[in-house]
Structure 1
Amino acid sequence: MSTLDDLQQTLAAEHAAVYAYGLIAARTTGSLRSAATTAYNAHRARRDQLRVMIRERGGAPREAAASYAVPVTPGSAAEATRLAVHVEEGVTAAYLQLAATAEVAVRERAALAMQESVIRAYGFRAEIPALPGLRPAVTPEPTAKSGSPAPTPATG
């Protein structure tokens, strides 16, 4: 794929994110609505940046679809949160593809956008999952018997 194709793919992901966050904000209240509105505005800004980048390379930015399929229509805070995480993971994947381009400036913007979307996704999660391939953290059990002195560090 060319840089222009990757930019168009990423723009499509941002269009879908703007749609989904509009849906989330319309169906939630309180702090969740506030977080969704903040994310909506962030994705609109990224979408607009991508449009400029596409035009700078001689392309015509693809327009947003009238609607997008979402895995869940948010009827509760839990469903809205699941949708937000799904959106951010999709956007992160799109920017990961864009980060593979040869253009340094595009890679830098893609890396920054990925960081932002990962942070937003974690902000919506109740708990942070283990990294792929790693087991979840486990609190170690004490091995010394009660009343035993703690080991002293070795001195050199």
Structure 2
Amino acid sequence: MTTLEAARAALAAEHAAVYGYGVVGSRVEEARAAEAREAYDAHRARRDALDRAVRDLGGTPPAASAAYALPFPVQDAQTAVRLAAGLESRIAGAYADLVRAADGSLRAEAAAALREAAVRAARWQGGSVAFPGLAERA
């Protein structure tokens, strides 16, 4: 995977995460609403930075879809938390690919984003995995 391909894939994952956190925020319990808002804001910031990175690499950033298919119905706070954990795991995978493909400051940013996603995933799911972003590839 080239750096540009990995950056575009991470940007597409960020678009999906921003959409997904809109759903999470509408269903999560009030006690975790601030956490959902913070994650939403963080993903918007990462999305904007990746948009610039893709352009800097000479590529065209993928546009966000109007809607995204969710992996399961999100009807209550419990399924909203499960969705948030899944979003973070998916993002971690995209950033793991970008860490492998990039170098320099983009690689450092991807590593920071991977770390942040792993921390958020652990908070949402109440535990962590040894290698965030790689567990599903074992």
TM over 0.5: yes
Corresponding residue for residue 86 of structure 1: 86
Q: Which has the larger radius of gyration?
A: 1
Corresponding residue for residue 25 of structure 1: 25
RMSD of aligned Cα (Å): 1.5
Matches within 5 A, 1:63-78: 63-78=63-78
Corresponding residue for residue 38 of structure 1: 38
Spell out, residue by residue over 1:66-116, the C-alpha distance to the aligned partner (whole angstroms, 9 max, x if none).
111111232121111110000000000000000012422221111100000
Provide the TM-score with structure 1 as the length reference.
Answer: 0.78
The answer for unaligned runs of 5 or more in structure 2 is 132-138
Kept after mapping to 2: 8 A contact 1:4/1:57: yes
Name the CA distance, whole Å, in 1 between partners of 2:93 and 2:129: 18
Instruction: Extract structure 1 runs of 4+ deviating beyond 3 A.
Output: 129-132
Kept after mapping to 2: 8 A contact 1:11/1:62: yes
Larger proportion of helix: 2
Q: Which residue identity lines up with residue 83 of structure 2 in the other structure? A: L
Q: Which has the higher contact order (CA 8 A, sep 6+)?
A: 2
Change in 2 beyond 3 A, CA 1:105/1:70: same
Name the CA distance, whole Å, in 2 between partners of 1:94 and 1:34: 25
